[in-house]
Amino acid sequence: MTTIQIIGLPGSGKTTAIKQYLRGTTSDIQYLDIRSFQGRCRDRSFRRAILQSEKIVIAESACGTSVASTIIELKPAVHTVYRQFYDRDQWLDPNYMSQLGTRMMPADYTIGTQAALVELLQKILEG
């Protein structure tokens, strides 16, 4: 089964782009966001959910997880990410954001805009 991981810093626009893509497709896709998983073992639970899915999976997280997949990093300009994150959460820790950036899985594609991410998802999943 096809698995695509969308990674990127919090506030980069991953969720917005994924939801835009999902609204425009008729494909049967399971969308998994690591933010939906709670507790100490949330990374393990997230990975297990990806592996157990019998559908096409779009999995969203900041850094990705070790599963066979196509990895797409959404990487807009850092000032855009920081502004969007602050607007959403009303706080910002640049050190935390920097640390996340060093823990990301290597990406197969690096995309700079939400629109480009939607187009790439269409190309990969719809041919």
Q: What is the pLDDT of residues 51-68, one digit of tens each?
A: 999 999 999 999 999 999
Low-confidence ranges of the chain (pLDDT < 70): none
Average pLDDT, the chain: 94
CA distance 52 to 61: 17
Encode burial over 29-50: b for 16+ CB neighbours within 10 A, e otherwise: bbbbebeebeeeeeeeebbebb
pLDDT at 27: 86
The dotted CATH code for 3-126 is 3.40.50.300
